[in-house]
Amino acid sequence: MKLTVEEEGTLLDYLYRHLDMPKKRVKQYLTHGAIYLNNHKTTKYNEKVVPGMKIVITSEKSTKTTLPFDILMEDEHIIVVNKPSNLLTIATEKEKEKTLYHMVREYLIEKDKRSKIFIVHRLDKDTSGIVIFAKDEKTKNMLQEHWNEYVTLREYVAIVHGHMPKQKDRIVQYLKETKTNLTYVSRTKDGKEAITNYEVVKENEDYSLLKITIETGRKNQIRVAMSAIHHPIVGDKKYSYQKEKESRLYLHANRLKLFYPQIKKEILIETQTPNEFKRLMK
């Protein structure tokens, strides 16, 4: 069952108003993790919902054979998915189970118990968009070892605070990392070079919608670049000096072009801009 949120409120109250089922059953769906909000599993009764958000209600049986987010491409060597925001790509010390890797692995094993899965690249937890997994070690090694050579386009869409000083620009910075794992711009050139290009697509009173391409792949590169020029990404609670009220980071990896060695051709993988972005830019 799928719903598109039409008015602001809390998740449980919204479900009560729009589902033709007993309130007890609605609570059971939430408690047992059968409800996904914008492709992100939630069990919170008071989770905030706003117009444009997608609610998917599924059964335990269906979660074993489907994923709560889009598969953009799949063949015998790779699987490419559209990662939701607020979901880790791979496990950390604090989070072992609820990761993109774990969900895709379970999906593949359900289809074939002999399935394997390997990380090719990753996105920040807060960033949504295109992520590639390999199904065999040979493909993983080929893509990882030649990533900078094979990948010819890494494009993102982002919403930032305010209006940009230029309609398009190329930002060259040198990034370093603190002991607490925060990335920052070095005043000297002793950090890792990071090159970020942006172009303004649309503006409204408060925000700018940007098309962003990167020439390097540094940790938190885009988030740091935008914050450093005083136009942080909306929803960035890590690098923004603004008081952020949005529930997600407005950064989405929407296009990836690369040479696919298994078929010896270049492929272009694309996703749609998330609905939340369109709502914010009205």
Nearest residue to 233 (alpha-carbon basis) of 159, 131, 139: 159
Are 2-59 and 71-280 equal in CATH topology? no
Higher per-residue pLDDT: 148 or 67: 148
The Cα–Cα gap between 11 and 127 comes to 22
The Cα–Cα gap between 177 and 192 comes to 10
pLDDT band at 187 (very low <50, low <70, confident <90, very high): confident
Percentage of the chain beyond pLDDT 90 is 66
Is residue 268's pLDDT more than 80? yes
Q: Could you tell me what percentage of the chain is helix, strand and coil, using 3-state DSSP and rounding each to the nearest 5?
A: 20, 35, 45
Q: What is the pLDDT of residue 41?
A: 78
CA angle 19, 41, 95 (to 5 degrees): 160
Is residue 171's pLDDT more than 60? yes
CA angle 53, 54, 56 (to 5 degrees): 150
Residue count (the chain): 282
Nearest residue to 274 (alpha-carbon basis) of 34, 50, 102: 50
- When the candidates are 3.40.50.720, 3.40.640.10, 3.10.310.10, 3.10.290.10, the CATH number that belongs to 2-59 is 3.10.290.10
Is residue 211's pLDDT more than 80? yes
Q: What is the pLDDT of residue 228?
A: 96
Sign of CA dihedral 37, 39, 40, 41: positive
Q: Which CATH superfamily is domain 71-280 in?
A: Pseudouridine synthase (3.30.2350.10)
Strands 151-161 and 251-260: antiparallel
DSSP letter at 215?
S
* 181-190: average pLDDT: 90
Tens digit of each residue's pLDDT (9 = 90 or more) over 82-127: 999 999 999 876 666 689 999 999 899 988 889 999 999 999 999 9
CA angle 220, 174, 156 (to 5 degrees): 35
Q: What is the pLDDT of residue 122?
A: 93
CA angle 32, 246, 88 (to 5 degrees): 50
Q: Is 126 helix (H, G, I), strand (E, B) or coil?
A: coil
Report the mean per-residue pLDDT for the chain. Answer: 91
Return phi, psi of residue 187, to 5°: -75, -20
pLDDT band at 62 (very low <50, low <70, confident <90, very high): very low
**CA torsion angle 226 229 230 233 (round to 10):** -10
User: In angstroms, what CA-CA distances link 236 with 24, 124, 174, 201, 222?
Assistant: 36, 12, 20, 20, 11
Q: Where are the domains of the chain?
A: 2-59, 71-280
Neighbours of 67 (CB within 10 A): 18
The Cα–Cα gap between 231 and 201 comes to 15
The Cα–Cα gap between 116 and 205 comes to 48
Nearest residue to 202 (alpha-carbon basis) of 236, 164, 230, 234: 164
